[in-house]
Amino acid sequence: MVRRWALLWWLLCAGCGEPIAALWVRIEAPLLVPDECDGLRLTARRLADSSQVFDQRYDLTAGPPFPLELALTTRNRANLGEGALSLGATALYRGETARPWAERSQLVTLREDRVTETVIQLCDCPP
């Protein structure tokens, strides 16, 4: 909670050239790290032009366990607005999807000067 408020304060105090919006992502999965999952891939694609705006793999061999929390920022106004981005998360094990259900994506709406919070559940459950 303290990190969330610190990120919000930093975002609101940012000047020119600094981020204009932020995304706080919580990723939940019933997978043991590193025995069942040793990596995570997080992607974001702009729906308007299908361009990839974020694609990062995280090594989880030394932890931390799920749930994971990540903060992303943007300086690009094209990433703002109703359903502008599709955010995807994939739990990985030895470079492959950890389980058939360990991949999800969802639409995200970023607003200027705001921190948007979202949760992605990687599980064998309804989206």
Query: What percent of the chain has pLDDT above 90?
Result: 82
Please answer whether residues 8 and 21 qualify as being in contact, where contact means their C-beta atoms are separated by less than 8 angstroms.
no
Residue 126 lies in a domain: no
Question: Which pLDDT score, from 0 to 100, does residue 24 have?
Answer: 97
Q: Outline where DSSP puts E strands in the chain.
A: 21-28, 39-46, 52-59, 68-74, 81-93, 96-97, 103-110, 115-121
Say if 127 falls within a structural domain.
Answer: no
In this prediction, residue 79 carries a pLDDT of: 95
Give me the sign of the Cα torsion angle 93, 69, 127, 112: negative
Q: Is residue 28 in a domain? A: yes
**pLDDT score for 82:** 92
Domain that holds residue 46: 2-121
Task: Read off the DSSP letter of residue 64.
Answer: P
Does residue 51 fall inside a structural domain?
yes
Q: What is the pLDDT of residues 34-80, one digit of tens each?
A: 999 999 999 999 999 999 999 999 999 999 999 999 999 999 999 99
CATH number, domain containing residue 68: 2.60.40.2990
In a domain, 75, yes or no: yes
The number of folded domains in the chain is 1
Q: Is the peptide bond before 19 cis (omega within 30 degrees of 0)?
A: no
Tell me, yes or no, whether 73 lies in a domain.
yes
Q: How much is the pLDDT for 127?
A: 66
